Amino acid sequence: MRKRLAAVVLLCLLSGCLPVRRSCKGAGAAAGPEGGGDRTDRCPAPRAHAPFSRDRVCAQSRWPEAARGYPVLPLREDSDICSAAYTPVEEMAEPDPVSQSNFRQIHVTHSDYELDIDFAALRMEGFVQLTAVVKEDGCTKLVLDTRDLTIIKTCILPSKCEKGVDFSIGSADKVLGSSLTVELPDNLTKGQQVVVGVHFKTSPESTAMQWLEPAQTAGGTHPYLFTQCQAIHARSFVPCQDSPGAKMTYSAAVRVPGQLTALMSAVPVETKPKPDFSILDAKPRTQTFYFEQKIPIPPYLLALVVGELESRELSPRTRVWSEPSVVDSAAHEFAETPQFLDAGELFAGEYVWGRYDLLVLPPSFPYGGMENPCLTFVTPTLLAGDRSLANVIIHEICHSWTGNLVTNANHNHFWLNEGWTVFLERKILGHVFGEKIAQFHAANGHLDLIAEVERFGPKHPWTRMVVDIQGGMDPDMFYSKLPYEKGFHFLYFLQVLLGGPTIFEPFMKAYVEDFKLKTLTTNDFKEYFLTYFDGHPCVGGIDWDAWLYSPGLPPRDNYYDLSMAKAPYALAQKWHESDATGVGGGGPAGVSSADMDNWTSGQTDAFLAKLLGLRSMVPMHKTLTRKMANIYGLDNVKNSEIRFGWLKLCVMAEDEAVVDNLVDFLKLQGRMKFVHPLYKAWGASKMGRDAAPRLFREVAHSYHPTVRKKVASTLGISA
């Protein structure tokens, strides 16, 4: 064993990833581009952005990896790889700057809802029984988050709630809402349980709820309601402790008009016990649906949809829901979902949620997907007809483990949700479609990362992995791809550093297993990582401060297989160089429609993304975009991702020929990823300075409130 260990250490020395002590006392490690922590106990790390080759393999007998002919050392069942396993503390609650609730003193662990949907008034009446566990002796009040809710009564159960108990409403903050404080019995002690009832009504202005008229649906006959509670909109749907750190289980009874169907982020059940107090008295021409969610979830994963809905089975545990005219197309598009779900279990462990259903919403849904447990919401812009946008479904499936099961403690640590989810997503892509596809997505993701850093600026604090949200800041306003791609970049770097997938994938599965049902901070992740890899010769060289807290691009580059990206990137470079100064011309020599023969839609999208990056400072001239349109037929493309990239390129070029196409696209859907950047580019252009605000005022009512707010802010007009 000693000989083997010596050989492995020698391999690490030769590969350059084992820290070597030299006579350099007092030298500090090189930090990221904006600085980082000084470290005087080892020699300087390689300079920022130094190439890090995947062929440089660190290994030790506890972390086997096959590389350059070195054999895989099999793990024994009695291996000490996890003998020093990190044990998370029982309570990880960290203060949440965007919640006024007191979940660290008393934690709502279960909510039992009765919800009555009123389409005529655009309101929901509700009663909730909140089962709360006292976490500090002497706690005398339960403080909940609310926004635009009318509180009718509160009470301590079991009782008939006729008299109620005292409550107070705090002053309104436009972002945080108003705190609801309910007085509790005296002399409560830690561990004691109390049940509080709250009778409430929502407002038509609820930012969580979008009410659609029949004309806004595919069927055109019935109204439609859906909710979107992430990031902090659950408080405008129900009174709750609206923080990711306040996980709870829930059950619900939902009464809706008789011809409509209700679904929630939970498993449907036949009925539920009648509560101590009920608002759902007999009412004609209605029906009631019942749900149960036995896995603790953060409130932002509460979800409800009501509409004319049908489903198609994809597997015994998976079905797709949508309006009747859309459901068959959706079933075809997402037929691979069961395969993706099975692959997720290979990498992350058992799928514990029971069902995995998909719901295709009307076009105003603001995101590509929302990972509501048991019922993922997705945009109809994914219905490309060729299953080419399936990676969005894979991403939402991955949240079943990273995000939903293992959750960031608050929004400062959002990268733990999204960075891990992108990492797992690309594991599944590689498993199902081949590693070249996963590498292609990683390379394109890096372009997105570069573009986001350029958009914010390399020193902007929101380009850090761990951000610092102060009280009163709206998490929606700095939503970006940064936590997704910078988080992925870091995890991929760690995988390469430690020796590759056979070493890192067991860690990923152990991480999910040990933190499931819990929340964690970045420091919790760091401590767990260092404990798991204790003794690994490559861990000591990680500059945690530079990775986690420095703004701008990551401190080290990753290298991906660019074989699928080579042709799109080269063609983008050719078009870029033909008009480097943006004054126009005849375009590059030798281009033709054959340039894109046999390309996937993803490669066409990558071509446009690369070209957009190259032209971020100097837009192309419109004579070049017109030539491109004529050669490649890009004016007629229907794939939403390609259409978006093309329209943005043309808007930046002041190409008036795409205005009708642009207007149609902005009216057709309300996805934040597409709508906000297009309005921003169009509003900043000469041709859209007046036209962009005018169109927005015309169609803003069809957009989700989150989209309306962000676009209005960008255009400098009222929402």
> To the nearest 5 percent, what fractions of the chain are helix, strand and coil?
35, 20, 45
CA distances from 243 to 238, 246, 340, 515 (A): 13, 5, 30, 18
**229 known ligand binder:** yes
How far is residue 430's CA from residue 421's CA, in Å, rounded to a whole number?
A: 14
Q: Where are the beta strands (DSSP E) in 344-501?
A: 357-360, 369-370, 375-378, 407-408
DSSP tag of 411: G
Tokens at 186, concatenated: 């005296």
How far is residue 483's CA from residue 418's CA, in Å, rounded to a whole number?
A: 6
β-pair type (357-360, 318-322): parallel
Catalytic residues: 396, 484
C-alpha count within 13 angstroms, C-beta hemisphere, residue 689: 3
**672 known ligand binder:** yes
- Closest by CA to 382, choosing from 684, 52, 87, 671, is 671
**230 known ligand binder:** yes
> How many residues does this entry show for the chain?
719
Q: Give me the sign of the Cα torsion angle 571, 574, 578, 579.
A: positive
**673 known ligand binder:** yes
**370 known ligand binder:** yes
First and final CA of the chain: distance in angstroms?
A: 69
DSSP tag of 594: G
C-alpha count within 13 angstroms, C-beta hemisphere, residue 122: 11
Tokens at 37, concatenated: 């922590």
**65 known ligand binder:** no
Contact present, 449 and 481 (Cβ < 8 Å) = yes
How far is residue 719's CA from residue 705's CA, in Å, rounded to a whole number?
A: 9
**Residue for token digits 């790390």?**
45
- Closest by CA to 640, choosing from 617, 622, 661, is 661
**366 known ligand binder:** yes
- Closest by CA to 246, choosing from 135, 355, 166, is 135
SS3 705: helix
**371 known ligand binder:** yes
Tokens at 63, concatenated: 């972390």
Pick out the residues of the known binding site.
228-230, 366-371, 395, 399, 418, 671-673
Pick out the residues of the known binding site for a peptide.
228-230, 366-371, 671-673
